[in-house]
Structure 1
């Protein structure tokens, strides 16, 4: 996994991102345009048409993010709409009710009272397409905020990480029958960028639920040592979940759709999400106090392999249906560090990155 330092305006951040990750971005463009065709039945011309509509919306609602995408395009030498398509790939893929959408990512938060070291810890396994190239962005913003976040090469800003104010974010894909890309609301990845620039829990809420959404998504949120909560979001509704006994877990299904309220489309892969939720919840419930090493042990669990918490490719199914744990992340927002694995954590060493 590439590690890249960014600074300056959002355009300059994007330019450095594009220049430094050019090869990885080219790979991701090829991977996603193939997935758009296979999973979403979207040919290149239609993808670019939709990307153009989103580009206009993003430029109007969050011009600084649009500047970042322009910088990536300039730095990488790739067409602007190809980069926009990467940045709105969540909306372009998830609204199609793909199997991948309900079949990856296990997130968690542990409050100080449930933590062996007395610190809030949060994180996740991020399970996705094996061929995607990720990167860790270390960004010094013009406003004084610093972020450390994982992203897919070509997607501006990051989606799993933390900032110097103490804000930390994890994500899970969700589906509902309300999802519709054509609403052209602020996209998922733009909201992640906004949340990772927030300076308070309410600022993170505003970024994630302050306006309607095009598609459903789950956000695991923490702030310093003081707060952790989960936001299950649908286009026009949301539900905030609080820790129980200092512990919080989420996977890829609405825990109680009627409480949002929302309706989930039928998908047989949802049982795998329920299994991972049950498995992680049992680990938490059976631990009096949870340590960093405990979390690493939970995150390499292979019960239900290959669709386990620690995900591995299933060679018996078509390549376009396969997924893997692309990275595993544990964050301590109060102390300002995160540990991340490059690939399934059972096969990779966690590396620590901090603000100090």
Structure 2
């Protein structure tokens, strides 16, 4: 039975990158502290002392600075506003890459993906399939259940580009979201044998770069051409009526186009070109991925020729194969953590809105966040 769960807190910031970060950190101090503790604990468990931790994270700070120095300024603001160490804020923004590198060092160079129960199922309904004629973009984010207590929604008002709205772990600069230019992005886990063979820009900063773009072509360039440390799937859409999915290896991106007015993607490679060139090494971690995207596509196809946000919600609430389902209840993960669908996010770029439900397997209440309005609690779905 669904239960009442606290909505994700919201903060709206403006000003210079440093000022925005300071407002963010001060406004959500408790969640930033909890987020830093969550990932810092992993380095502690791997045996890193303060000197080793600083050395490890500095490497990624240098990479981020080369991609955009203003990102580090914003992180310094978050650190100062929250009272959390700057290196811990960098850690939050590069947690996949930092933890993987830490494990490589401690395991004599053997690469290992941290916490392999990172799922996610994403979908886009194209305008020709939308009941309103406007594109709909959504996702379930599967990760550590405790992130329901560390995630937030951030609105950034910018003087140097479009305002944007992002659902993100506290202390992070972006995860999924949309901007005032009508660009939206979600992302989900992929794995290949090319992972961790080069150093690239942390995935979260690439997503942030997308949300800073006025033009969709530049958003696609940020995803398709930025070097990465590990594989990832990034789904992009524009209010103008186009969407594309990029299955990204560290050094190459493979486009996947809409089919029957839909894009649906889980956590296995689907591009024939990608499958001919690399090896999908993530299946042992997410074997249910094969039916998760099939289930979402099936449910959307059966819902009719024209679809609305509620149809996407219904598909993402699917419990087939539970607890290894599209909507995942909390269960023990293979890394010893408690794994769950942490959030369901439904975006309508034409309206500049994002509806988010925490722990949707336990809770069907959404909060609507907006580029222009205050958050609104919606009736349970």
- With normalisation by structure 2, the TM-score equals 0.86
Residue in structure 2 matching 1:296, options 313, 325, 338 = 313
d(CA) in 2 for partners of 1:250 and 1:100? 20
The residue aligned with 1:283 is 299
Unpaired runs of 5+ residues, structure 2, are 1-7, 102-110, 373-381
Please name the residue that 1:174 is paired with.
190
User: In structure 1, how many angstroms separate the alpha carbons of the residues matched to 2:112 and 2:151?
Assistant: 24
Return the offset for 1:94.
Answer: 5.5
**Structure 1 residues 126, 63: CA separation in 2 closer, same or farther (over 3 Å shift)?**
same
Aligned residue number for residue 233 of structure 2: 218
Equivalent residue for 1:35, pick from 17, 42, 49: 42
Instruction: Report the Cα offset of residue 320 of structure 1.
Output: 2.7
For the pair 1:232 / 2:247, whether they are aligned, the reply is yes
**Contact map agreement 2:178 2:185 (CA 8 A) in 1:** yes
Q: Following TM superposition, by how much is the alpha carbon of 1:123 offset from its aligned partner in structure 2, in angstroms?
A: 1.0
SS of the aligned residue for 1:143 comes to coil
Task: Evaluate the alpha carbon distance shift between residue 16 and residue 354 of structure 1 in structure 2; reply closer, same or farther with a 3 A threshold.
Answer: same
Residue 175 of structure 1 contacts residue 264 of structure 1 at CA under 8 Å; is this kept in 2? yes
2:353 equivalent to 1:348: no
Aligned alpha-carbon RMSD (Å): 2.1
Indicate the residue corresponding to 1:26 in structure 2.
33
Q: Is the 8 A contact 2:115 2:335 kept in 1?
A: no
1:225–1:333 contact (8 Å) kept in structure 2: no
Q: Is the 8 A contact 1:148 1:161 kept in 2?
A: yes
2:281 is aligned with 1:265: yes
Match of residue 73, structure 1, among 56, 60, 79: 79
CA contact (8 A) 2:57 2:87 kept: yes
Q: Shift in Å at residue 65 of structure 1? A: 0.6
Gaps of 5+ in 1: none
Q: What's 2:119 paired with?
A: 104
CA distance in 2, matches of 1:161, 1:212: 21
2:331 partner SS: coil
Count matched residues.
351
Matched, 1:14 2:21: yes
1:72-98: CA deviation from partner (whole Å, max 9, x where unpaired): 111111211111111110213457444
Pair 71,178 (structure 1): closer, same or farther in 2 beyond 3 Å: same
1:64 is matched with which residue? 70
Matching residue of 2:199: 184
